[in-house]
Amino acid sequence: MKIVTAVAPVNIAVIKYWGKRDETLILPINDSISATLSLEHMCAKTSIVCSPDLTETKFWLNGELQPTDSKRFQNCLREIKKLVNPNLEYLSWNLSICSENNFPTAAGLASSAAGYACLVYALAKIYEINGNISSIARMGSGSACRSIFGGWVRWQMGNTTDGSDSLAVQIAPETHWPEMRVLVLVVNDKTKTYSSTSGMKTSVETSTLLKHRAANIVPQRTKEMITAIKNKDYKTFAKLTMQDSNQFHAVCLDTYPPCFYLNDTSRAIIELIHFYNQNKGETKVAYTFDAGPNACLYLLEKDVAEVIAMINYVFPPTSLKSDYFKGDTVPSKKLDEEFTEVLSKHCQPEGKLKYVIYTRVGRGPKILLDSQDHLLTESGIPKFL
Amino acid sequence: MKIVTAVAPVNIAVIKYWGKRDETLILPINDSISATLSLEHMCAKTSIVCSPDLTETKFWLNGELQPTDSKRFQNCLREIKKLVNPNLEYLSWNLSICSENNFPTAAGLASSAAGYACLVYALAKIYEINGNISSIARMGSGSACRSIFGGWVRWQMGNTTDGSDSLAVQIAPETHWPEMRVLVLVVNDKTKTYSSTSGMKTSVETSTLLKHRAANIVPQRTKEMITAIKNKDYKTFAKLTMQDSNQFHAVCLDTYPPCFYLNDTSRAIIELIHFYNQNKGETKVAYTFDAGPNACLYLLEKDVAEVIAMINYVFPPTSLKSDYFKGDTVPSKKLDEEFTEVLSKHCQPEGKLKYVIYTRVGRGPKILLDSQDHLLTESGIPKFL
């Protein structure tokens, strides 16, 4: 019997992945770049038991038993097993897999990326595989490949038809830019969003702007972003991040029928950030939005206190909210009166944001050795049962 | 003393104008196509008195005296005067000009297009000028050139640097497609929108997607749209109209900082139209949005009653609204129960729309001969004073 428990981080792209050239292998039409967020506040956790006593392979996700015949799950398992020594005794044993996120999936925060990275990372440990497993995580969920590494990560689109060169590489470790901070603004929204899988498929089929973006804009932008990250050039990093988020949503709108992920609150956040940067005379905050209305702000530690104060002022929590700010302890600052005066015209009704997570760039997946951390008993039964 | 009163229509583009290659002459970076709407419900009206007794040229717009040294006003006046016989006695006389819109300017409904078309049309009558004056109206407000003609109109971008070939031509008269109807959905919105003048300037400067659109997408789309209009091919017309509206707003989002013109209500309208077309198994309604949240729906007469009933159901007026539907008399129909059932999940809170204008494609500007229609007395004093 073998048991492994791993945790894997969320990542937030600053150059966006949108569009596949191969739906089965999950090969993208352009490179993308992301930062991996700290495991502390947002992560997926997966325990795997591999045992000759298990009569079948089972998979629980967030407390619910999942079908194990899903294409994505099977692809990951098959590709991992290809790398295993075929004589390994326990290769034929069944698996019990239990996975959960420590943040609300309702928040729509890249949970599948963390989830598949965690699954593949844990499987690799079970079967004692080394090497770059990011291309296997990619087959579960494209952006999962980037969660295999900490710090700043590039997903190289690759060129081969078998996808062997479509994998993630680390641009810089999490220690490279220690001042970088992240605020995740979770927007209150009841609108059902389009799945990103079907949205990007429709974009590839119908958006003429997407073809142009992938072929002619992203390659240059990727180079510029890597240079900005390596040089810790915040101003360039921030502008490219905002431009690429906007262009990704532009492509969604150019899709037919269009996909909308930004709502009026997202728009208010974007306008607030531009207003703030302009008012301060320099770029201090950058926003980026994935396939949903939630904002992710990249900013430097020195500016966090004021930005937190501004968010609290412009987007007041409902009177019932006690834990509006989650994650790291938020620094406190009073907005100066003159700035509050001009800010007052940007104020939103309370309750537009659900909550805010304050976090930072962090490391890649890791193994938890304490038996208390396992989600499964040694006989492969989820502890929650 | 000479007095002339003219009315000129609004036009709504189906291939959008966005971006100038010359800011002064107002020369666009791509062709655009529009339908001219009936004068009956939405028009600008301008009276001009030309008299040796006037000590200065004055211009009232919607009841307020305007500066006459604005570049756009002066450009129109100068270009018109270039075409006048220089020996004409009254060329040196001053003008009294009074202009107003018969629809709320707050609605953000292309009022400057109708206004400048009306001004230039009335000036041309005063000075007895014939020929295509659309290139002069263009110098007041780009899209005004299309309001010089009725029916279906193309604004040819032209190629010369002096702009002499950047003018409007009629594709088909207003009688060509008699079944075509228009519903203008005026959205309740308090957000201040970016002016289209500065928005398109920023787009030209910052959006890489706009360059691609203008150079590589619009030329082909323009040809297809002209063919669809000439053939009264509603299905193709509708798809191109929606795609081009979406692409225009995509480009606005790709602008840095981004310009947002669609809000959550606009989004709900777009989703409703796609839902309706899909539910009916054919394209029955097309939306288009200019630089604001209001929708303009193009549809055929046979489908108006059901679409009106749907709008009334999904976007109920506030309980206080008595004149929710303006314009032509709206046909009445009861939605069938099965459709109402599926529609119920699209319902919006009341008050999301201010009102709806039901209108049709109409003729170009015309002169009003009845002295009661003049906005000015014969001595050039606005009657409202």
Give me the pLDDT at residue A226, please: 98
Q: Is residue B379 part of a domain?
A: no
In a domain, B247, yes or no: yes
User: What is the per-residue burial (b if ≥16 Cβ within 10 Å, else e) of A264-288?
Assistant: bbbbbbbebbbbbbeeeeebbbbbb
B378 lies in a domain? no
Per the structure block, which two tokens stand in for B358?
């039901």
- Same-domain status, B76 and B206: no
Q: Least CB-CB distance to A212: which of B209, B252, B270? A: B209
What's the angle, vertex CA A150, arms to CA A145 and CA A156, rounded to 5?
A: 40
Chain B residue with minimum CA distance to A189 = B264
Residues A193 and A126 in one domain: no
Do A140 and A238 reside in the same domain of the chain? Answer: no
Are A22 and A338 in contact by the 8 Å Cβ rule? The answer is: no
Structure tokens at B305: 């009653």
At B347, the amino acid letter reads C
User: Residue A260 is nearest to which of B209, B217, B267, comparing CB atoms?
Assistant: B267
Residues of chain A with C-beta less than 8 angstroms from the C-beta of B243: 254, 256
Phi/psi for A34 (5° steps) reads -145, 165
**Residue with tokens 């041309």, as numbered in its chain:** B124
Tell whether A196 and A61 lie within a shared domain: no
* B166 residue type, one letter: S
Looking at the structure, do residues B99 and B224 belong to the same domain, yes or no? no
Residues of chain B with Cβ-Cβ distance to A263 below 8 Å are 264, 267
pLDDT in tens, B134-177: 999 999 999 999 999 999 999 999 999 999 999 999 999 999 99
Residue B188's pLDDT is what?
Answer: 84
Whether residues A328 and A206 fall in one domain: yes
Identify the residue among A188, A210, A253 best suited for mutation to test binding to B, counting B beta carbons within 10 A and taking the highest: A253
Tens-digit pLDDT profile for residues B11-26: 999 999 999 999 999 9
User: For the domain that residue B236 is a member of, what is the CATH number?
Assistant: 3.30.70.890
Task: Give me the pLDDT at residue B108, please.
Answer: 62
Counting one residue from A and one from B, how many pairs have CB atoms under 8 Å apart?
75
Instruction: Copy the structure tokens of residue B330.
Output: 């709206």
Structural domain span for residue A124: 2-173+368-373
Write out the residues of chain A at the interface with chain B, using a CB-CB cutoff of 8 A: 208-209, 212-213, 216-217, 239, 242-243, 246-247, 249-258, 260, 263-264, 267, 270-271, 274
Say what percent of chain B tops pLDDT 90. Answer: 89
Cβ(A306)–Cβ(A273) under 8 Å? no
For residue A213, the chain B residues in CB contact (below 8 A) are 209
Q: Which of B216, B247, B260 sits opposite A267 (nearest CB)?
A: B260
Asked, for residue B108, whether it belongs to a domain, the answer is yes
Q: How far apart are CA B162 and CA B248, in angstroms?
A: 26
Least Cα distance to B231 among B295, B176, B182 occurs for B176
pLDDT at B385: 87
CA-CA distance, B349 to A157, in Å (whole number)? 45
Whichever domain contains B78, its CATH number is 3.30.230.10
- For chain A (385 residues), the mean pLDDT of every run of 10, in chain order, is 97 97 97 97 96 96 93 95 90 95 68 94 95 95 97 97 96 98 91 83 97 98 98 98 98 97 96 96 97 96 97 91 88 92 92 94 98 96 93
Verify that A139 and A9 share a domain, yes or no: yes
Provide the sign of the torsion angle of the four alpha carbons A192, A193, A196, A202, taken in this order. Answer: positive
Q: Please give, rounded to a whole number of angstroms, the shortest distance from the CA of B342 to a CA of chain A.
A: 16
Q: Mutate which of A30, A202, A243 to test chain B, going by most B C-beta atoms within 10 A?
A: A243
Q: Where are the beta strands (DSSP E) in chain A?
A: 2-9, 11-15, 20-22, 27-28, 32-36, 43-51, 58-61, 64-66, 94-101, 152-155, 168-172, 180-187, 285-289, 295-300, 325-327, 353-360, 366-367
Q: How far does the CA of residue A316 sit from the closest CA of chain B (Å)? A: 19
Q: State the Cα torsion B86-B88-B90-B93 to the nearest 10°.
A: 10
Q: Is residue A248 part of a domain?
A: yes
Q: What is the pLDDT of residues A23-36, one digit of tens each?
A: 999 999 999 999 99
Q: Which residues of A touch B247 (CB under 8 A)?
A: 208-209, 253-254
Q: What are phi and psi of B76, to 5 degrees?
A: -60, -50
Structure tokens at B95: 């003008």
Hunting for tokens 């990103």 — which residue is that?
A: A196
Residues B20 and B160 placed together within one structural domain of the fold: yes
Answer yes or no: do A250 and A169 share one domain: no
Looking at the fold, whether A163 and A196 belong to one and the same domain comes out as no
**pLDDT of B107 higher than 70:** no
Task: Work out how many domains chain A is built from and give that number.
Answer: 2
Q: CB–CB of A256 and B249 under 8 A?
A: no
A378 domain-assigned: no
Q: B211 and B348, same structural domain?
A: yes
- Region of poorest pLDDT, from A104-113, A227-236, B40-49, B284-293: A104-113
The amino acid present at B365, given as its one-letter code, is P
Instruction: Output the pLDDT for position A27.
Output: 98
- Report yes or no for ipTM above 0.90: yes
pLDDT tens for residues B115-139? 999 999 999 999 999 889 999 999 9
Please report which helix (H) or strand (E) contains residue B99, including its range.
Answer: strand B94-101
Place of tokens 């038809």: A161
Residue range B365-385, pLDDT digits in tens? 999 999 999 999 999 999 998
List helix spans (H) across chain B.
Answer: 71-82, 111-126, 134-138, 196-206, 208-212, 218-230, 234-254, 264-280, 301-314, 337-343
Give me the sign of the Cα torsion angle B14, B18, B24, B25: negative
Mutation choice for A interface testing from B213, B220, B247, B265 by most A CBs within 10 A: B247
Q: Which residue has the higher pLDDT, A193 or B33?
A: B33
Task: Using an 8 Å CB-CB cutoff, list chain B residues near A255.
Answer: 246
* Cβ-contact A376, A98 below 8 angstroms: yes
Q: Report the SS3 class of residue A376.
A: strand
A246/B255 CB distance under 8 A? yes
Domain membership of residue A381 (yes or no) is no
Chain A positions in Cβ-Cβ contact with residue B212 (cut-off 8 Å): 208-209, 212, 216
B322, pLDDT greater than 80: no
- Rounding to the nearest 10 degrees, give the CA dihedral for residues B178, B183, B184, B188: 180
- With contacts defined as CB-CB under 8 Å, which chain B residues touch A267? 260, 263
* CB-based contact B209 A208, cutoff 8 Å: no
* Residues of chain B positioned with their CB less than 8 A from the CB of A247: 208-209, 253-254
Q: Are strands B94-101 and B43-51 parallel, antiparallel or unpaired?
A: antiparallel
Cβ–Cβ of B257/A274 closer than 8 Å?
yes
B27 and B76 in a single domain? The answer is yes
Residues of B within an 8 Å Cβ radius of A: 208-209, 212-213, 216-217, 239, 242-243, 246-247, 249-258, 260, 263-264, 267, 270-271, 274
pLDDT at B320: 72
- Residue A344 CA, chain-centre distance (Å), reads 33
pLDDT score for B55: 96
User: Quick one: closest CA in B to A193, which residue?
Assistant: B271
Residue B189 has a pLDDT of 78
Q: What mean pLDDT is predicted for residues B224-230?
A: 98
Confidence at residue A107, expressed as pLDDT on a 0 to 100 scale: 55
| DSSP-derived pairing of the beta strands B353-360 and B325-327 | parallel
In a domain, B384, yes or no: no
Tell me, what's the pLDDT at B83? 93
